[in-house]
Structure 1
């Protein structure tokens, strides 16, 4: 065992001292696939007009000395293409329900300005609008997910937006699209019918929203062979009544219902806790709150099963992630926060939950892509850094559109201050080439774990892997030390008959490929 500890993937273990002895063990049984596919759209991202997410994020000053296409930063595009983001949600969020799409088309110098009342009270110049967003999606090779304005908009406004983007015939709106530089339709498929209609999107009751949804949805037309996937505003967290009412009253013309849940370190919206320099108590509480996603997905899915036993309606978790206090000295309305190994552990755990609920969860969006909340990328003028969470999405991209392999787990607890959490979570899949991928998370802050999995009758002969870990869960990447937390090769997995044995360091994320 001492020789095993010398491998590259677990060098960080030495910094943890004697407490990281492999004193605990976890077991898993991995079954055969039953044809269920992990939708690639679970790995979607979110870009709202909020803080430095769009402006000074994706869309920069024309004079900034970075490689650009128009004003889109191409180093960011390249980084996101590497992790194969499948869809990008826009323009919000709360911003969507005060956004009027006609303000963001045409000659940029002639576009009207507006006040972003939700996020910092700043002036929005509308230089980044519909065409700019869709050109960004083209650069990213990703599908657009547009959220329509139900809160302050009209049925006609959303109906016209759909026609403007998707109609491949002669009409005033398709002519306008051609005049603005795009004769062919964009064929946008994913459409959100409002956002958080129980709150910033209109303070509606679920009964009222269900009626509004049906009214908006019937006028959002399919054009040609492009069939819209309409997504209803769903609940926040444990608002099970909202799901019940919407599923009961909206009988057709619905592709998905959205769920929003943010992991707050403290659980208190007034003081969410810092992104850095936190204690183990704060770490434990953050993971405890993050693991509630399993409860929410399970219970909302059970309600959906009552009205949709064939699981035709998707559960769309289109806002999720860790939300801390904003970084000191920044505009609190911009929601800029650092990103630590703790956040990566929450992200990996959440993605394992989504994968294992692939029968119902078909799309999800991390909040948010750049410079906002649990971002993948942070920027500082011409510099960018990839956060620990970015590296999680890099590790997990192997699950996209792969067949889910069911798992039974027997794992030890991570104990702190008399409280317990399951220390290990896992998801597994088999891709089109027959390769098996496992993503394994050990959230225990102090103890390494000996993990063994029975692969049954699966055929494989070699294993390779990567690991994301550090000396402490507070570790971050900075503009002076951008590679403090990064992926490295993992060599502490070995074949034992048809079982696999893995030495999991404390607070680590491991991805394995068996072929």
Structure 2
């Protein structure tokens, strides 16, 4: 029997709701068709936003949405996306499929979407091909309430009051598609550009996000922090609230990636092993951040994460459309448990991407919509948002089919909500073994337990023909004991228990 020990009274750090954030880019069918269909579409919508998609996202309590990219952000010029739609400038989306971008979804539409979702706004600015003036004027257009050229332009375009801008990314992947910069060069550009990202609302400051590393580029993290800080006094040259990190699970490597639906036991464990590498990245980048920010005032912002496979056969390779199976459910559960356990440093994360792209939570086909296994994991994990991480540990054994791709059989995280409920999330990575879990809750009297689970064979997925193949099901096989609870977690599953 496996032992899980939980001490609900030993609170560690707040799990920011923004850890459960999402990412939308002008890429493939994410924005157009996935979120935005236009006011004249026969698909039910409110001001152009798909009603079914908005309602589904509200159900999982989407806390924050990042836009407009991604690589697209550093070629996006915001003034092309305002004003009458018929006069907006058309452009070629050079990064994603070479298709025409008509800019019918721009600043006004994004904030309309955020208002419908009831979520915070994370805008990524153009440092790669844009100017300081352009970025500064965009912030003014969005947030300034007084008399100014940009505030007047916003009012002329139909929005009298400014919007609340919660997060602003000063460039994206500037080590690559955002300009192929060296870390010291980017860091100096960051210092310059962020100066002009003005806080026009003292009671609602903009949190500025600096471009961080690609995967395990620890030199980038070190050099950027060295240049943005006074190394001796450890003082920041300017304002930085977050440092980003990007990491994707490519089962067969960057070039090949591998199929989203056709994989064997070896690739299953290989994929989960790579998902677990997120913890190593957080710890190692976090150690460098600790040198300059020991009080953890700067959040690690994992604003692109998820599984990236070869696109579905017959689809535009530049659209990054892929299916979503139980493997993705496990990748999501594992990763979110890691973020929870490191919530003292990780302050926001954004799954890539929200609809129809990469490890999305929703897929659409015309008027039809399905929820993916990843969606259902976010649905179960939403109770961790703004809860307090508490001390917990689970006994594990090493499993897998090859020495190189071994994984622990279980991962977990536990939080206590404001109403006192204990929320346990647990993943079983094994393809062939269930585990009996003896849970010890220290100094805690169990009165009631509710459970829900996502599980199935590793290839199971939801399709437009079978939209409910994978879904959240009730889990009632929990026994109360003198020391806590006891239950069996099935193979290939993600489990959530609420204990009161």
Q: For this structure pair, what is the TM-score category when the shorter chain's length is used for normalisation?
A: over 0.9
Q: Distance in 2 between matches of 1:185 and 1:230?
A: 18
Contact 1:352 1:427 in 2 (8 A): yes
1:50 partnered with 2:27: yes
TM-score normalised per structure 1: 0.93
The unaligned stretches of length 5 or more in structure 2 are 229-235
* 1:308 counterpart = 2:296: no
**CA displacement 1:183-217 (0-9 Å, x = unmatched):** 11102120000000000000001100110000001
2:394 is the counterpart of 1:417: no
Asked if the contact 1:468/1:510 (under 8 Å) is kept, the reply is: yes
Q: 2:375 & 2:400 partners in 1: Cα distance?
A: 28
Distance 1:325 1:280 in 2: 18
> Aligned partners of 1:403, 1:379: CA distance in 2, in Å?
35
CA distance in 2, matches of 1:503, 1:133: 44
Query: Alignment partner for residue 400 of structure 1, among 365, 369, 385?
Result: 385
1:246 and 2:224 aligned: yes
Q: Give CA deviations for 1:455-503 in whole Å, capped at 9, x if unaligned.
A: 1012331111001001x11111000100000001001222211322120
SS at structure 1 position matched to 2:22:
strand
1:444 paired with 2:433, answer no
Aligned to 2:499: 514
**Equivalent position to 1:95, from 72, 80, 86:** 72
The answer (yes or no) to whether the contact 2:413–2:426 under 8 Å persists in 1 is yes
- Are positions 1:237 and 2:222 aligned together? no
Quote the Cα distance in structure 2 between the aligned partners of 1:29 and 1:170: 55
Detail structure 1 runs of 4+ shifted over 6 Å in the superposition: none
* 8 Å CA contact retained: 2:269, 2:406: no
Look up the SS of the partner of 2:212 in the other structure.
coil
Match of 2:108 among 131, 135, 138: 131
For residue 137 of structure 2, what is the aligned residue in structure 1? 160
Q: What is the distance in 2 between the residues matched to 1:292 and 1:445?
A: 20
Q: Corresponding residue for 2:119?
A: 142
Is the Cα contact below 8 Å between 2:399 and 2:407 reproduced in 1?
Answer: yes
What is aligned with 1:477? 462
Structure-to-structure mapping, 1:337-416, within 5 angstroms: 337-416=322-401
Residue 109 of structure 1 aligns to a residue in which SS? Answer: helix
- How many residue pairs align between the two structures? 490
Distance 1:111 1:246 in 2: 37
Does the 8 Å contact 1:64/1:382 carry over to 2? no
The CA distance in 1 between the partners of 2:158 and 2:41, in whole Å, is 25
Cα distance in structure 1, aligned partners of 2:10 and 2:170: 34
2:231 corresponds to which residue?
Answer: none
Q: Does 1:25 align with 2:11?
A: no
**Cα distance in 2, alignment partners of residues 502 and 246 from structure 1:** 47
CA RMSD of aligned residues (A): 1.2
Paired residues of 2:370 and 2:464 also in contact (CA < 8 A): yes
TM-score normalised to structure 2 length: 0.96
- Is the contact made by 1:33 and 1:403 (CA closer than 8 Å) also made in structure 2? no
Gaps of 5+ in 1: 1-23
Residue by residue, what CA displacement relative to the aligned partner does 1:401-460 show, whole Å, maximum 9, x if unpaired? Answer: 001112123212223134521110000001110000000000111111112222101233
Instruction: Please name the residue that 1:5 is paired with.
Output: none
SS at match of 2:89: coil
SS of corresponding position for 1:215: helix
Please give the alpha-carbon distance, in whole angstroms, between the structure 2 residues aligned to 1:421 and 1:30. Answer: 25
- What is the CA-CA distance between 1:64 and the residue it aligns to? 3.7
- Are 1:39 and 2:25 counterparts? no
Residues 25, 412 of structure 1: 8 Å contact kept? no
Rounded to whole Å, the distance in 2 between the matches of 1:415 and 1:223 is 54
Alpha-carbon distance in structure 1 between the residues aligned to 2:489 and 2:85: 53
For 2:388 and 2:287, locate their aligned partners in 1 and report how far apart those are by CA, in whole Å. Answer: 22
| Counterpart contact for 1:272–1:324, Cα < 8 Å | yes
Q: In the alignment, is the contact (CA less than 8 A) between 1:265 and 1:273 conserved in 2?
A: yes
* 2:278 matches 1:278: no
Q: 1:262 aligns with which of 241, 248, 256?
A: 248
User: Among residues 469, 472, 493, which one is paired with 1:487 in the alignment?
Assistant: 472
